[in-house]
A = this chain, B = another copy of it.
Amino acid sequence: MNPSSSLLAFARIFALSILLALGVRAHAQTDPLPSWNDGPAKQAIVAFMQTTTDQSSMKFVPPAERIATFDQDGTLWVEHPMYSFVMYALERVPALAKAKPELAKVEPFKTVLSRNREAMAKLTLRDLEKIIAATFTGMSVDQFNAEVANWITTAKDPRFDRLYTELVYQPMLEVLSYLRENGYKTYIVTGGGQDFVRVYSERVYGIPPEQVVGTAGVVKYGYRKDGTPFLTKEPKLLLNDNDAGKPEGIHLMIGRRPYAAFGNSTGDQQMLEYTGAGNGARLMMLVMHDDAKREYAYGPAQGLPKTKVGTLTQVLYDEAKAKGWIVISMKNDWNRIFSFEQ
């Protein structure tokens, strides 16, 4: 090797080092939340992440304790005009009536089978509970899972003409990834059926079944005729994972208080309160549906009744403001709502 070739080699290595250094810096500066506009919501998420993962911070959170919980309906995906699990229940009724013809003659199943939209709109909460009980229980866990897996990969939302799993909010998927990249375990804590959400949670949200907490019924262990054990879904509620049931469910299933919690309605109030009551840095956020054009508009911006259950009421909005929770405006904070938008 002569001196000039040695110098050339050195220059090459030097240039490579600089490129590598630039590359690392460029990577570090990649925006983890590209679908978020700059503003207080995005800033709050970034600040929380920096504070809780910086070892020199007073509010550093040890990796083992990094838990973040997310409501699903209205927080991670579209919940209007009806929760997807209710759509599932309604759309399962014909198959159910085929298997049990006696159901076709009794309400509320008769109305659902009539496909009369006007009559269906008058179904009460009690009616819906009956339909959910009939379609979510009385079968083996395996059978239920197979039925949901089939529905979720074929059924479409009428307005968007998309699979329900395409109607997840891109900005929230980015928050989930950003949290996980920073060592947070992400959980769904949903009022919807736990077994229902577990069918697709890993594929859609990157959240494994064991990190889905939801409304759960009793399952019963038994044996088939050949001695094979199996679990049956019984029509008996074990955990109503709404309202106070959310922190109760978090204690049962996780056993740690979250450091971050995301919701969008009165059903999430207690989860956010419980999260906020912990020491150190805590992040509480509520998604406000104020974008009628790209998604839907409902909640305080639309002057809904003060106490309407299942939305971001004025009362909840006021609590959020008083307690320093961040209200996310879909309209202003999100430059993209769905991944299929361009």
Query: Are A247 and B274 within 8 A (Cβ)?
Result: no
Q: Copies of this chain, how many?
A: 2
Query: Are B255 and A210 within 8 A (Cβ)?
Result: yes
CA of A185 to CA of B253, assembled, Å: 16
Q: Which of B202, B218, B248, B254 has a CB less than 8 Å from the CB of A220?
A: B248
Query: Are A254 and B209 within 8 A (Cβ)?
Result: yes
Q: Which of A212, A230, A277 has the most CB of B within 10 A?
A: A277
Contacts of A253 in B (CB 8 A): 210, 252-253
Judge whether A81 is part of the interface by a CB distance below 8 angstroms. Answer: no
Contacts of A121 in B (CB 8 A): none
Q: Known: A209-B256, A256-B210, A270-B221. Is A251-B231 also a contact (CB below 8 A)?
A: yes
Q: Which residues from 186 to 224 on chain A have a C-beta closer than 8 Å to any C-beta of chain B?
A: 194-195, 198, 202, 208-210, 212, 216, 218-221
Distance of A258 from chain B, by nearest CB (Å): 11
Q: Which residue of B lies closest to A198 (CB)?
A: B255
CA of A220 to CA of B270, assembled, Å: 12
CA of A185 to CA of B210, assembled, Å: 11
Distance of A128 from chain B, by nearest CB (Å): 24
Q: Known: A208-B64, A255-B195. Is A247-B273 also a contact (CB below 8 A)?
A: no
CA of A229 to CA of B257, assembled, Å: 12
Distance of A215 from chain B, by nearest CB (Å): 12
Judge whether A5 is part of the interface by a CB distance below 8 angstroms. Answer: no
Query: Are A277 and B221 within 8 A (Cβ)?
Result: no
Contacts of A198 in B (CB 8 A): 255
Q: Which residues from 54 to 78 on chain A have a C-beta closer than 8 Å to any C-beta of chain B?
A: 64, 67
Q: Which of B221, B248, B256 has a CB less than 8 Å from the CB of A274?
A: B221
CA of A162 to CA of B276, assembled, Å: 40
Q: Which of A209, A230, A239 has the most CB of B within 10 A?
A: A209
Query: Are A221 and B247 within 8 A (Cβ)?
Result: yes
Between A and B, 15 residue pairs with Cβ closer than 8 Å are A64-B208, A67-B210, A141-B251, A195-B255, A210-B255, A219-B251, A220-B244, A221-B270, A230-B277, A231-B247, A231-B274, A238-B238, A238-B239, A238-B252, A252-B253
Interface residues, chain A, with chain B CB atoms under 8 Å away: 1, 64, 67, 141, 185, 194-195, 198, 202, 208-210, 212, 216, 218-221, 228-231, 238-239, 244-245, 247-248, 251-256, 270, 273-274, 277
Given contacts A209-B254, A210-B253, 18 further A-B contacts (CB under 8 A): A1-B1, A67-B210, A194-B252, A194-B255, A195-B255, A209-B255, A210-B255, A212-B255, A216-B252, A218-B248, A221-B244, A221-B245, A229-B270, A229-B273, A229-B274, A229-B277, A231-B247, A252-B253
